Amino acid sequence: MIIIENCAVATVDADGTEYLDGHVVVDEGRIVAVGPGHAGRYHRSVRRVDGTGCLVTPGLVNTHHHLYQWATRGMAQQQNLFGWLGELYPVWAGLDAEVVAATTSAGLGWLALSGCTTSTDHHYVYPRDGGDLMAAQVEAATEIGLRFHPARGSMDLGRANGGLPPDDIVEDTDTALAATEEAIDRFHDPDDDAMVRVAVAPCSPFSVTPKLMTEAAALARRRGVRLHTHLAETIEEEGYCRETHGCTPVEYAERLGWLGPDVWLAHGVHLDDHAVGRLAATGTSVAHCPSSNARLGAGIARTRDLLDAGVPVGLGVDGPASQEANQLGAELRQALYAARLRGGPTALTARQALALGTTGGARCLGREDQIGSIEPGKLADLTVWRIDGLGHVGIDDPVAALVFGPPAPVELLLVGGRPVVERGELRTADERDLMRRIRRAHRTLIRRSRA
């Protein structure tokens, strides 16, 4: 049993319950109590955590990522999405299981240090001689200790057939579908406390055929797993859809059966009123990635309009090659700033930003009954933020300190009650070893791309 007390608590429950001086009690991987003041006495072995100077929130949920890109950070710095992809596709052709294991470990470790307890990953590049990349990811995620939602991506539309990716890094349609179903068979866990859940995730309208999109959706629904893809990220993508399919990206997705409560879409930047309405009416979720959108100059998503329409919205850091900071805690502020740049100072509050990163993310992943808020019975995925340092002193509102202030150090990160970060240090892996492996992975990919 773990008791965290003498701390501020933001539960992010439906009522927005908060305690300036509160406690949270964890037992056997679940939250058993939350409330004001001290937790009182328990007649059993208890670890008491003094949270003086800290804020406890639900663990953050990252709804969109490309972990393999950690090995190609800092490249294509002045490109839009299509130019950026064109420069990096040939480098990613050198991926193998060793590189993917290193990038997954480093990326998830870094996310943990920024307050994240659950992360997706959208991996869609599978070189023919790359090895067992999904197994490498799951093994790395198990080592780090975060809940992991790998989305088995795919591309089957190469340049020869009008797509953007080079032909040598796309898969045959049937091969991609078979590999996706195999990933579900091997790794998907439907249990409430699952550490690994697999999603079906063809990459994008400009890299996937309509056949793969349609059959992937049918596969996911037959197997009872969720669907994920990129959509409406850039104006160039919209132009591609209008020219190739004669409609907008959202109209194209709906035509193929890709709207619904089991779907979450990455980005959703370029949406007209009709598109926002269709997402809301169908219960489709959006993974909002403000820093990546800014880095690539893709535009500012209509977050306020989506929320007002009733669209579930979560946060994503996106890949480390299009958002090198890759800190989910910092993305709370970025989401708030982006919303206010578009809609003014009332467009998003600090608490609404925190909700995007917690309950919103849980809804995207279909796990709102298990994670995303601090309530008895839910899984004990918690972040304890230290907000009493020089960078936060003088901000009386603890949630404002977290969101408006500089990135807050993580005093304690629990996933199912298990400590993953303590006092700002990763406890499940050696950070120096992660750094060595990433340097080697980066050098390997660059060398292969120049061969």
Q: Report whether 12 contacts 359 (CB < 8 A).
A: yes
Q: What pLDDT shows up at residue 400?
A: 98
Rg of the chain, C-alpha, whole Å = 21
Q: Retrieve residue 127's tokens.
A: 């070189």
- Sequence-ordered list of residues with C-beta below 8 angstroms from that of 438, at least 6 positions apart, any chain: 70, 71, 102, 103, 106
Each residue's pLDDT, cut to its tens digit, for the chain (451 residues) gives: 999 999 999 999 999 999 999 999 999 999 999 999 999 877 778 899 999 999 999 999 999 999 999 999 999 999 999 999 999 999 999 999 999 999 999 999 999 999 999 999 999 999 999 999 999 999 999 999 999 999 999 999 999 999 999 999 999 999 999 999 999 999 999 999 999 999 999 999 999 999 999 999 999 999 999 999 999 999 999 999 999 999 999 999 999 999 999 999 999 999 999 999 999 999 999 999 999 999 999 999 999 999 999 999 999 999 999 999 999 999 999 999 999 999 999 999 999 999 999 999 999 999 999 999 999 999 999 999 999 999 999 999 999 999 999 999 999 999 999 999 999 999 999 999 999 999 999 999 999 999 8
Q: Which domains does the chain have, with CATH numbers?
A: 2-58+378-426 (2.30.40.10), 60-364 (3.20.20.140)
Q: What pLDDT shows up at residue 446?
A: 97
Three-class SS of the chain: CEEEEEEEEECCCCCCCEEEEEEEEEECCEEEEEEECCCCCCCCCCEEEECCCEEEEECEEECCCCHHHHHHCCCCCCCCHHHHHHHHHHHHCCCCHHHHHHHHHHHHHHHHHCCEEEEEEEECCCCCCCCCHHHHHHHHHHHHCCEEEEEEEECCCCHHHCCCCCHHHCCCHHHHHHHHHHHHHHHCCCCCCCCECCEEEECCCCCCCHHHHHHHHHHHHHHCCCEEEEECCCHHHHHHHHHHHCCCHHHHHHHCCCCCCCEEEEECCCCCHHHHHHHHHHCCEEEECHHHHHHCCCCCCCHHHHHHHCCCEEECCCCCCCCCCCCHHHHHHHHHHHHHHHHCCCCCCHHHHHHHHHHHHHHHCCCCCCCCCCCCCCECCEEEEECCCCCCCCCCCHHHHHHHCCCCCEEEEEECCEEEEECCEECCCCHHHHHHHHHHHHHHHHHHHHC
Q: What pLDDT shows up at residue 44?
A: 75
Q: What pLDDT shows up at residue 248?
A: 98
Q: What pLDDT shows up at residue 40?
A: 83
